[in-house]
Amino acid sequence: MKKLINATETVLTESLDGFVSAHSDLLALGEEHKFVRRIQPKAGKVALISGGGSGHEPLHGGFVGHGMLDAACPGQVFTSPTPDQMLAAAEAVDGGAGTLFIVKNYEGDVMNFEMAAEMAAGEIMTVLTNDDVAVETSTFSTGRRGVAGTLFVEKVVGAAAEEGRDLAALKALGDRANAATRSMGVALTSCTVPAAGTPTFDLGENEMELGVGIHGEPGRRRVALASANEIAEEMVTAILSDFGDRAHGGEASGEAFVLLNGFGGTPLMELYLMFNAAEQLLARRGVTISRSLVGNYVTSLEMAGCSLTVTLLDDELRRLWDAPVHTPALRWGL
């Protein structure tokens, strides 16, 4: 294992120190490295808090700032944060209007955020993201996984919170944005968790994992390595079909936001090539991309591969996506 680290037990704390120092104009670090928060929480605004295991950067800490999250709680690599982290974050960014948790649908995350909500003094509601269409018949008690579509939810809910919407309205918006979003990923290699020191799973030189999870969980199936066009066809078909009766003919159509997300080990050249393939396939099936992102936003350490996220847009979701944002990972309009 070759990694730029000092010791496996200090990877997270040293990384957080560097992250907050590099973005000291935007962020502050919570006591005992429990969370990162906006340097100036906004009074009278619903506080938005998310979090999860580290190793997916810039998710979630990279989305803390104006127009998105107020705080993010980082767990150890691929490990859920603890309830005391969420409680500390909620107290630190409380604006007096309640708190909204945005939680990816993994058993540990769901359980710990629920425990924090039960122990908190103020009013807390939760939006659960579960955009991963790869989980057709789930073996997980919590159902399908929350993956890169979480970024879209955090962005539009963050914009609405800046406008002053109340807690119930923000939860309803988050649930609606999640319902409009589907994702699917493919892995070409595994990743290596520093504490483990060995790859999470084994893939042959000519194999790929279709529908892989962001922690290296098994996908729909393991198949022979295919061309970019064939991979894009698989993902687009799975995503559009999963929208079901949301559109005529059983598939999605109309205007969409698309995220072509890298898992950490794939060059941008290849990600843009995949975006091109996906765009052409979507256009043939009646989906027009009006908003997009390409890059490493929800990663899996150094895994090679990518995911495709499609969100069906309406006027409100488009406007909230376009609203100003100023975070370490997303900045426009300010």
Which residues are catalytically annotated?
A: 56, 215
Strand-by-strand arrangement of the 27-29 sheet = 27-29, 36-38, 71-77, 47-54, 99-104, 124-129
DSSP string, 60-124: TGGGBSBTSBSEEEEEEETSPPPHHHHHHHHHHT--SS-EEEEEES-HHHHHHHHHHHHH-SS-E
Cα gap 154→282, rounded to integer Å = 24
How many Cα atoms within 13 Å fall on the side-chain side of residue 15?
23
105 contacts 153 by C-beta, under 8 angstroms? no
Name the amino acid, one letter, at 60.
H
Q: Find the angle CA(60)-CA(64)-CA(70) to the nearest 5 degrees.
A: 110
Helix/strand/coil for 210 = strand
